[in-house]
Amino acid sequence: MEIHDVLVGVAVVIGLIGIVVVFLPGLVLQVAAVALWAFEESTAVAWVVLGVVITLALTATALKYVFPHRTLRGEGVPGWVIFLALLAAIVGLFAIPIVGAPIGFVVTVYVFERVRRGPAQAWPSTKSAVKAILTSIGIELAGGFLILIVFIAGAFLT
């Protein structure tokens, strides 16, 4: 294992952090780091690792939208409410560091659902939206961990 393997490993771990921290593009960073590594190594193993990593990233990206969307559609929470809540989460992240994003998201969903559906249905809709977002993050995080495992295996094999 060489120093560039370690540096790419660090970049892949930072990509994992980026999945949870909103402003870092986690999976994109992981794929880019592994792609640079594959070009540097230029071996068959490295190219296979890159192909598997790209496949994992694309699969995780697709699944992170499909499953939460089904949950929200089943609960009756419209996409525009989630979109506005995500915008509020981004603003909240900068307004109140660390805790602003979840606060902005939850408050926005609750307020719009309270206006739209009434007080009795606002909190169940909000809980469903939070579960959907956490499911999305969990799916992406699982994909990121699989990418890390595949990279480590590939680095040891080359």
- Does residue 45 register a pLDDT over 90? yes
The per-residue pLDDT for 5 is 84
Give start and end residues of each alpha helix (H) in 42-77. Answer: 44-75
Q: Is the pTM of this model over 0.85?
A: no
- Does residue 95 register a pLDDT over 80? yes
Owning domain of residue 83: 3-157
- Does residue 53 register a pLDDT over 70? yes
Q: How far apart are CA 155 and CA 11, in angstroms?
A: 14
Of the ranges 16-25, 47-56, 129-138, which is most confident?
Answer: 47-56
Q: What percentage of residues in the chain have a pLDDT greater than 90?
A: 46
Residue 78: phi and psi, rounded to 5, are -70, 155
Q: What percentage of residues in the chain have a pLDDT greater than 70?
A: 99
Residue in this structure with the two tokens 């792609």, named with its chain if needed: 35
Q: Side chain identity at 154, as an amino acid letter? A: G
The per-residue pLDDT for 23 is 66
> What's the number of domains the chain is made of?
1
Give the sign of the dihedral formed by CA 76, CA 67, CA 142, CA 80. negative
